[in-house]
Amino acid sequence: MAYLPFDVRSPSARLKDILSGLPGHKMVLLGSEVTVPELALPDLEFIRVTDALAHSDTSGCDGHAHEESSNPTATSLAYVLFTSGSTGRPKGVMVEHRVIVRLMRSNITPDFPTQPRTAHMFNIAFDGATYEIFLTLLNGGTLVCVDYMTTLDVKALEAVFVEEQINAAVMAPALLKLYLTDARDALKGLDFLMAAGDRCDGQDAIEAQSLVRGQCYNGYGPTENGIMSTRYAIATDDSFINVVPIGRAVNNSGAYVTDLKQQLVGVGVMGELVVTGDGLARGYFDPALNTNWFIHIDVDGQRVRACRTGDRVRYRVGDGFIEFFGRMDTQFKIRGNRIESAEVESAMLSHDSIRDSAAVVVQKDEGEKADMIAFIVVNDDHSTEGEATENQVEGWQDHFETEMYADISNIDPLAIGNEFKGWISMYDGSEIDKAEMQEWLDDTIKTLRDDQAPGHVLEIGTGSGMILLNLGDGLQSYRGLEPSRSAAAFTNAVIKSIPSLAGRAEVHVVE
């Protein structure tokens, strides 16, 4: 029997996509507080774990003679994980028991604590969770489950680490950076720390190694190669010219750099990372997706089954460690989670009003938080531009009428033109110092005039007429556009009271 984990926060449409592609009767176990998804699918049943336990026979016997069941073999299916798919639909990766055995026998295991207390922070639907679960439980350790909201609060997470005496953890580089900034004490109790899921900042890696009690690693591995493919042990005297290496392949596995024809390349040559060995998945649940991804390559004269990763890498000159430089396609990672831009774009295109879409990832600096930004092109017959513009104008008018210029008529006549009413700080909401405002006004007028007569002027957003009333001599004509009716009426009244402006200046309300 194999298991298939789901993210309880996944939209129903994603769950439906996955479950509708599975054959036979489907039984989904739910936690006691998990809301039952609204899915109308045949042969689908939701059962709460608490209900299943309550109705089970505590003796462990159902009253019938047990048929002798065979134990799983190395190639028996252990679990299926669905990752983001380039077709716009999730793709299931079938992982066998030998993958987990390989992990236990890898050259990472000796560095794992003899009595591990591991923080289980990864979403159970992602492969990082299987690393936490199996490496801990199969080593006789304790798995400390951390709820989702706690993982979003570094201080709360630090408290859990200290209280539960966590000594082993796997975290995305983005989370590690937060720890190094706001929760350094939590790292000091770790005997084992693995940064995985994205590129790791060199300074962060060295700093983390200097804090932990044991060893800090930079790990790498796609879901298709069972959790872990390569690893690199950080040293406090390391120096990284380019990036933190992802190291070399773990035991019973291989990691090779190939060109576009899947031929092996030499040291220093950029290429695609291809992985081999006992960590390889059986393939995708939809066998049609295996083409061009699960392949065969020549290694030392032998034809070897392999999996393309789509990641751009090279062997580092000098020691041959593999350096990771990002994706070769449109896939990207957000906080360690693998996302295909095509799946995001497909979800947007499913809306009737959208004709085209594009999703990109933006990251200002290496190691900083990455954001996903989506763009859409709306169908001509669904355009809401006019309606949106009208709503924006009405919103601004309401803001100016009810908040900014509600009592504009009470301005001191002697202060007209230098009354800085409504000018407040965007940081704390306090009024800006009058001397600072006067300095800003003087600089603005000086810049606008540029030692010349103002001539013909158009101003958008006139307010109480501050710019108009300080332009000075040489004004030939002035037209202002203002969303606030009360502000426009006030300024027009002032214009009529000044002979040099009357008939030459006017403010119009933007409708």
Assigned domain for 110 exists:
yes
- Checking if the pLDDT of 56 tops 80, the result is no
394 and 267 inside one domain: no
- Please report whether residue 67 resides in a domain: no
Asked if residue 423 belongs to a domain, the reply is yes
Residue 277 counted as domain residue: yes
- Residue 275 located in a structural domain: yes
Q: State whether 191 and 210 are in the same domain.
A: yes
pLDDT confidence of 206, banded at 50, 70, 90? Answer: very high
Same domain, 164 and 310: yes
Q: Would you say residue 14 has pLDDT above 90?
A: no
Environment class of residue 39 by beta-carbon count within 10 Å: exposed (0-12), middle (13-18) or buried (19+)? middle
265 and 351 part of one domain: no
- Looking at the structure, do residues 254 and 158 belong to the same domain, yes or no? yes
- Report the predicted TM-score, pTM, of the whole model to 2 decimal places: 0.64
On whether both 248 and 317 belong to a single domain, the answer is yes
CATH number at residue 235: 3.40.50.12780
Same domain, 312 and 374: no
Last residue of a domain, one of 323, 344, 379: 379
Joined together, the tokens standing for residue 146 give 């951390």
Q: Are residues 330 and 444 in the same domain?
A: no
The larger pLDDT score, comparing residue 137 to residue 239, is at 137
69-78, 409-418, 449-458: least confidently modelled range: 409-418
Q: Is residue 175 part of a domain?
A: yes
Q: How many CB atoms lie within 10 A of CB 290?
A: 15
Tell me: the pLDDT tens digits for 307-317?
A: 999 998 999 98
Q: Which residues, including other chains, have CB under 8 Å from residue 494's CB and lie 6 or more apart?
A: 416, 465, 469
Give yes or no: residues 313 and 457 share one domain.
no
| Residue 294, token pair as written in the block | 């699960």
Q: How many domains does the chain have?
A: 3
64 within domain boundaries? no
Provide the pLDDT for residue 338.
Answer: 61
Residue 1 inside a domain? The answer is: no
Look up the CATH number of the domain holding residue 488: 3.40.50
* Rounded Cα–Cα distance for residues 260 and 26 (Å): 41
Same domain, 214 and 309: yes
pLDDT over 70 percentage in the chain: 84
| Amino acid identity at 176 | L
3-state secondary structure of 206: helix
Name the DSSP letter for residue 186.
H
Query: Are residue 314 and residue 214 in the same domain, yes or no?
Result: yes
Domain that holds residue 355: 336-379
- Residue 264: the pLDDT is 95
79-129 pLDDT, tens digit each: 999 987 555 578 899 999 999 999 888 777 778 898 999 999 998 998 889
Q: Are residues 84 and 97 in the same domain?
A: yes
Cα separation, 314 vs 267, in Å, equals 7
